[in-house]
Chain A
Amino acid sequence: MMQAKNIRARLGRKDVLHGVEFTAQPGQVTAIIGPNGSGKSTLLKTLSGELVGTGTVLLNGHDIEELRAWELAAMRGVLPQQTTVAFPFTVHEIVRLGLSSGLAAAEEDLPSQALAHVDLAGFENRSYQNLSGGEQQRVQLARVLTQVWEARDQDQPRWLLLDEPVASLDIAHQFTVLGIARDFAAKGGGVVVVMHDLNLTALFADLVYVLSEGRMWMSGTVSEVLNIETMKQVYGIDLPINTLPPTDIPFVLPQALSG
Chain B
Amino acid sequence: MTLALDGAPARTEIQDRRVRARRVTLGLIAILIVTSAISVSVGASQASLITAVSDLIQGRPLSDLNRVVLWDVRLPRLAMGVLVGAALAVSGVVMQGLFRNPLADPGIVGVSAGAGLGAITAIVFGGLLPVTLLAWVGDGLIALAAFLGGWASVLILYRVSTRQGQTSVATMLLAGIALAALFGAVTGVMVYLADDQQLRDLTFWGMGSLAGANWAKVATAAPIILASIIYTQFLARALNGLAMGEAIAHHMGIPVQRSKNIAVLTVAGATGAAVAVSGGIGFIGIVVPHLLRLSTGPDHHRLLMNSALLGATLLLCADMISRVIVAPAELPIGIVTAILGAPVFFWILLRRHGQMRM
Contacts and interface: CB of A to CB of B under 8 A. Distances in A.
Contact of A73 (B11, B243, B251): B251
B297 A73 contact: no
B189 interface: no
Contacts of B254: 69-70
Contact of A182 (B2, B16, B101): B2
A117 B297 contact: no
B218 to A, nearest CB: 34
B325 interface: no
B252 A97 contact: yes
Given A69-B254, A89-B299, A116 B244 contact: no
B245 interface: yes
Q: What range describes how many residues of B lie at the interface? A: 35 or more
Interface in B108-151: none
Nearest to B252: A73
B46 interface: no
Interface string B1-25: 1111101011110111100000000
A84 B100 CA distance: 10
Describe A's contact surface by its main secondary structure: helix
A46 interface: no
A237 to B, nearest CB: 29
A187 B338 CA distance: 59
The interface centre, meaning the residue of B101, B247, B248 with most chain A CB atoms within 10 A of its CB, is: B248
Contact of B244 (A85, A112, A117, A179): A85
B5 A183 contact: yes
B233 to A, nearest CB: 12
Contact of B15 (A97, A115, A125): A125
Contacts of A124: 12, 14-15
Contacts of B247: 45, 50, 78, 80
A199 interface: no
B102 interface: yes
B17 A49 contact: no
A147 interface: yes
B56 to A, nearest CB: 44
Interface string B245-269: 1011011111110000000000000
A257 B53 CA distance: 89
Contacts of A179: 1-3
B252 A50 contact: no
Nearest to A76: B251
A43 B256 CA distance: 21
B11 to A, nearest CB: 8
Contacts of B10: 116, 121-122
Contact of B250 (A50, A129, A147): A50
A101 interface: yes
Interface string A24-44: 000000000000000000000
A186 B1 CA distance: 13
A183 B1 CA distance: 10
Given A87-B298, A113-B9, A122-B10, A97 B241 contact: yes
A73 B108 CA distance: 36
Given A78-B251, A85-B243, A180 B299 contact: no
B101 A86 contact: yes
A244 B3 CA distance: 24
Contacts of B15: 90, 92, 124-125
A77 B251 contact: yes
B237 A87 contact: no
Task: Give 5 nearest A-B pairs by CB, closest first.
Answer: A73-B253, A116-B9, A87-B298, A86-B100, A70-B253
15 contacts: A83-B244, A86-B243, A87-B293, A87-B298, A88-B298, A89-B298, A92-B14, A92-B16, A94-B244, A113-B9, A116-B7, A117-B7, A175-B1, A176-B3, A183-B5
Interface of A: 45, 48-50, 68-74, 77-78, 80, 83-90, 92-94, 97-98, 100-101, 112-113, 115-117, 121-122, 124-125, 129, 144, 147, 175-176, 179-180, 182-184, 186-187
Given A121-B10, A184-B5, 18 more contacts: A48-B251, A69-B250, A70-B255, A73-B251, A73-B253, A78-B247, A87-B293, A88-B298, A90-B17, A94-B244, A97-B237, A97-B240, A98-B252, A101-B237, A115-B9, A124-B12, A125-B12, A179-B1
Interface of B: 1-5, 7, 9-12, 14-17, 100-102, 237, 240-245, 247-248, 250-256, 293, 297-299, 355, 357
